[in-house]
Amino acid sequence: MKSRRHNAILKIINSNEVGTQEDLMMLLNQAGFNVTQATISRDIRELKLTKIAAEHGGQKYSVMHQNTKDISDKYIRIFHDALVSVDTAQNILVLKTVAGMAMAVAAALDSMHFEGVVGCIAGDDTIFCAVRTVEETFKVADKIRKLTSKY
């Protein structure tokens, strides 16, 4: 049901200028899908829809297309601009950043899906990153160092 609804949403936004969740809900109801605003909101997030300028003024929903290379370049830039140091403590990777940038670096690290990384906790200028094994911790640290070419 969900995949059929997602397909219907994509078809609707590709053939109509849908500017609000209410408009999308109405069009889905007309297409035979009984949905709530909460369902629409969740679907928009899952489908990674964004609003763009509509031809006749206002905004409309569209599928967000991003080049994977551009995304990787942005993450590398975040590492390069914000990262101060990389250290290890057993299977914990400790990253120091410029003040206020730990969340951005942690988000970039999570998005890059390094093998072995279980998760990150970020403060203001420090990130603790849990890695499955000590060996993988050293590998991830080396990859980050190579990405930034700072160390």
Structure tokens at 108: 């970039």
Percent of the chain with pLDDT over 90: 52
Class of domain 68-148: alpha beta
Distance of alpha carbon 35 from alpha carbon 37, whole angstroms: 7
pLDDT tens-place string over residues 87-141: 999 999 999 999 989 998 998 888 888 889 999 999 999 999 999 999 999 999 9
Place of tokens 């080396």: 142
> pTM here?
0.54
> 2-63 with 68-148: one CATH topology?
no
46-63: pLDDT as tens digits: 888 888 887 777 888 888
> Quick check: 62 and 127 in contact, CB under 8 A?
no
CB atoms within 10 A of CB 90: 9
Architecture, CATH, for domain 2-63: Orthogonal Bundle (1.10)
Domain ranges for the chain: 2-63, 68-148
pLDDT in the model for residue 92: 97
E strand intervals along the chain: 49-53, 59-63, 83-89, 92-97, 117-122, 126-131
